[in-house]
Amino acid sequence: MPRPASNSAIESHRDGSALTVTVVPRSRESAVDLLLDGSLRVRVTAPPVDGAANFAMLRVLADALHLPRSSLAIASGQRGRRKRITVSGIAPDDLAARLQSVSATHR
């Protein structure tokens, strides 16, 4: 059973961590937002066509977390806005700390 971390969007995963995100395609700018309720929103400028928004979301998230893009993968939610992302090689508490420092906007 996955163990929740301090952030409700992050869980322990056998490869490191799992992260639940909501993707907002066709945004004005690309950004990662940690919301007050603990959820994570990733805004991307790419449209949700032919996987472009998924690719952009993984790139924006990897850049924001200072991780290689290859350490992130979509575990579920390929076609929806809500996705579960696996982040290999980083513990849930470390991931939560990185997200806290990355998020410029707390809403």
The CA distance from 3 to 65, in Å, is 21
- H-run or E-run covering 15: none
pLDDT value at residue 34? 85
**pLDDT tens string 23-45:** 999 999 999 998 887 789 999 99
Q: Which domains does the chain possess?
A: 10-102 (3.30.1200.10)
The CA distance from 106 to 15, in Å, is 28
How many other CB atoms sit within 10 Å of the CB of residue 30?
18
Q: Is the pLDDT of residue 1 over 80?
A: no
**pLDDT tens string 58-103:** 999 999 999 999 999 999 999 999 999 999 999 999 998 888 887 5
As to burial, measured by CB atoms within 10 angstroms (0-12 exposed, 13-18 middle, 19+ buried), residue 5 is buried
CB 8 within 8 A of CB 37: yes
The CA distance from 77 to 21, in Å, is 10
Strands (DSSP E) found in 63-105? 72-76, 82-88
pLDDT value at residue 47? 96
